[in-house]
Amino acid sequence: MSDVPQTQPSPEPPPPPAAPPPLTPKRRRRVTLILAIVVIVLIALVIVHVVRNKKPEHGAAPQVVTVAAATLGPMPVTLSALGTVTPIATITVLPQISGYLTEVGYKEGQDVVKGQFLAQIDPRQYEISKEQALAQLAKDQALLAQARADLARYTQLKEKQSIAEQTYTDQKFLVMQYEAAVQADKANVRLFELDLIYCRITAPVSGRVGLRLVDPGNYVTSTSSTGIAVITTMKPTTVQFAIPQTALGSVLERVNAGAKLPVSVYSSDNTRQIATGTLFALSNQMATATGTVTLRASVPNDDEALFPNEFVNVKLLVDTLRNAVLVPTPAVQTGAPGDYVYLVNADNTVSVHKVTLGPSDGRYTVIAAGLQAGQHVVTDGLDRLNDGAKIQPAVPRPATHAGAAGAGSAPHHDNAPGTASAPGATAPNASDASAAASQAG
């Protein structure tokens, strides 16, 4: 036997797997149908699950809002404007003559009366001029007396035909010349007397003196623009303001009828009323640049609350509407329909109700058309409402003593000028409106 190892034959590789038989058209349609059925079943299961888990819908909850009733009451028709306190007289006291100022007889900010001493100019040069004028007057009066005596003698001689006619005529003309000279001398005397009066400067009007403009020792002249003092009349005073041309007709109608239109003056920040007066003058022209007419009101200003050239707010009461339909101003809305309110229906739903607006005092607004007294409108909670929405009127809170007093005073004319509500004003609720209605009745 041989030691050579014998090789064993390698195993044969397995045969390749047989290829799947091709799908026939019939089998392809069957697979597609099965897939479609599976998809439809899945969609049906999802729909059933969603429908079973969906909560039943309930009707929208009514919105809690505040409502108020439209009432009948008076409404003041006012015009608001910016005004300026304009003194009746502002006088700059100017010297009428030239000279050194020797004395100042007033204190800064002092109240003076007409004719009160203010300042003194050195009068000595005018006293000397007056003495010279008096001397010239005496001289010319003596010459006139002599000429008249000569004319009397010439007249007698002329009657006797003892002198020439020319001599008599010349003497008569000489007398006339001296008479004119005497008249001129008297005028000069009066002129220097007037200069002496001007040396003593007095107040031309009653009022308040401003800050001192010149001190004693200065030389002042009649051409000085600074003046000795400025006097301003404090009381009474006037307030000047302008109204638009669209409002001029109603004002003229009332003024021409003899009405005294009251004017209320408020502080510059509109927080308090500081004076009252009456309209007394209208300008005779309209400002073309602004389309406004200037008016002036007289104010007693006994407490001197108004200061000259101060800026104020003015409210002119033109007329008062009687038995007007009033609603709280917050109930009035403006949008695509125009001016409207949310009217409360009998089934506690609201509807958009177009209205025509009248004047307003800030707290209440007049409804000129579209609403009747007694109908209820929404005053608070309007931002969540739409036409046909269900509402639940809020339970009115018990009115306090101050609240009852405030409701009983509606509509009140003492709000700040303009259509905006006065600071701190709130929308009245239904109980406030009822109280206002009883007060207006």
**Residue 234: band (very low, low, confident or very high) from pLDDT cuts 50, 70, 90:** very high
Above 60 in pLDDT, residue 119?
yes
Domains, the chain, ordered by start? 65-76+322-440 (2.40.420.20), 80-88+232-319 (2.40.30.170), 90-231 (2.40.50.100)
Going by C-alpha positions, the residue among 398, 347, 356, 419 that lies closest to residue 376 is 347
Whole-number pLDDT of residue 309:
93
Q: Give alpha helix (H) positions in 115-229.
A: 124-159, 165-199
Q: 383-396: per-residue pLDDT in tens?
A: 888 888 888 888 75
Q: 6-59: per-residue pLDDT in tens?
A: 555 555 666 665 555 565 777 777 778 888 888 888 888 888 777 676 554 455
Above 80 in pLDDT, residue 226?
yes
Q: 128-182: per-residue pLDDT in tens?
A: 999 999 999 999 999 999 999 999 999 999 888 888 889 999 999 999 999 999 9
Q: 387-440: per-residue pLDDT in tens?
A: 888 888 887 555 443 333 333 334 444 433 333 333 333 333 433 433 333 333
Residues 6 or more apart from 212 whose CB is under 8 A from it? 104, 108, 229
Asked if residues 351 and 300 have their Cβ atoms less than 8 Å apart, the reply is no
Q: 298-346: per-residue pLDDT in tens?
A: 999 999 999 999 999 999 999 888 899 999 999 998 888 889 999 999 8
Q: Which residue has the higher pLDDT, 436 or 193?
A: 193
Q: 43-54: per-residue pLDDT in tens?
A: 888 887 776 765
Give the pLDDT mean for 48-75. Answer: 76
- In DSSP terms, 305 is beta-bridged to none
Q: What average pLDDT does the chain have?
A: 83
Whole-number pLDDT of residue 405:
38
Asked if residues 316 and 279 have their Cβ atoms less than 8 Å apart, the reply is yes
- Which of 123-137, 233-247, 369-383 shows the lowest mean pLDDT across its residues? 369-383
Give the pLDDT mean for 68-75. Answer: 91
Above 80 in pLDDT, residue 64?
yes
Angle of CA points 99, 102, 105, to nearest 5°? 120
Classify residue 193 by burial, with Cβ atoms within 10 Å: 0-12, 13-18, 19+.
middle
Whole-number pLDDT of residue 160:
87
| Integer Cα distance of 123 and 98 in angstroms | 10
| Integer Cα distance of 195 and 130 in angstroms | 9
At 335 the three-state DSSP class reads strand
Whole-number pLDDT of residue 16:
60
Q: What stretches of 211-272 adopt beta strand conformation (E)? A: 219-220, 229-232, 237-244, 262-266
pTM comes to: 0.62
At 344 the three-state DSSP class reads strand
Q: 265-303: per-residue pLDDT in tens?
A: 999 998 999 999 999 999 999 999 999 999 999 999 999
